[in-house]
Amino acid sequence: MSFFRRLIRYGSTGIVLLTICAAHGTAQAQELTVYAALTSDYVYRGVSNSDEHAAVQLGLDVGSDAGLFAGVWASTTDITTGGRHRPREVDYYVGFLQHFDNDWSASVSINRYTYPGADGNVDYDYNELATVINYHDRVWLEVDYTDSVFGHGEQATNFELLVSWPLPASLTLATGVGYFDVSKIAGSAYSYWQIGVSRPLGWVTADLRYHDTSNVPVLIGPTDLADARVVLTFSVAF
């Protein structure tokens, strides 16, 4: 399933869908995937992007047996920086996934982050290049690079490692760590981490996850929005 490689960054929504794929062995290309989620908090690289409120998220992915894929993902947000508010996020991506054998695969994609309805005349939209290496649908290493993080014309690099394990009673444990180097715009980098369990409940999958960070620069998010938190997410994929 092509969409599995793209969803690490989408917090609990992405992790739920990653673990669905791993649990059911669905890392095969298919023509169309539609997914939706309701989450108690949209956490992006350790920081709440919904001001610690619930968020609704939708996505659509088109893939091919040749490894090409493209899609769109959207979420309600509640982001306020510099007195300017961003009420929603819509992201677009296109990329290529290559399987090397039964265990290893890698992908590269160009991702476009947009914030429709943002207040003022500041353009927060930006592009990011993402590379993911996957082992056995259990370990994902992602490296992301942008030359204009949040549209401010400064470079940033993100590194993220996610590992998942199947557990008894249809549970899946997934944990990950990340390092977001935003020092060129915010003066310093920071680390973030999470751990949680997912379980299918009929056609819906539930995920309960703990998130935390190191010291987050003020320009990236207020300290209280990067504190330790527990997030509950319900997702469905078709």
Model pLDDT, residue 27 = 44
Whether residue 139 is predicted with pLDDT greater than 60 in this model: the reply is yes
For the chain, domains (ranges, CATH) are 2-237 (2.40.160.40)
Model pLDDT, residue 12 = 62
The pTM (predicted TM-score) of the whole model is 0.91
CA dihedral (56, 117, 49, 27) positive or negative: positive
Model pLDDT, residue 14 = 65
Closest CA to 178 of 196, 190, 195: 190
pLDDT band at 219, cuts 50/70/90? confident
Q: For the stretch 148-179, what's the b/e string if a residue is b when 16 or more beta carbons lie within 10 angstroms of its beta carbon?
A: bbbbbeeebbbebbbebeeeeeeebebbbebb
> Which residues, listed in sequence order, are joined to residue 177 by a DSSP beta bridge?
161, 193
What's the pLDDT tens digit per position in 146-167?
999 999 899 999 999 999 999 9
Closest CA to 51 of 92, 91, 81, 15: 81
What's the pLDDT tens digit per position in 185-210?
999 999 999 999 999 999 999 999 99
Whether residue 44 is predicted with pLDDT greater than 60 in this model: the reply is yes
- DSSP class of 184: H
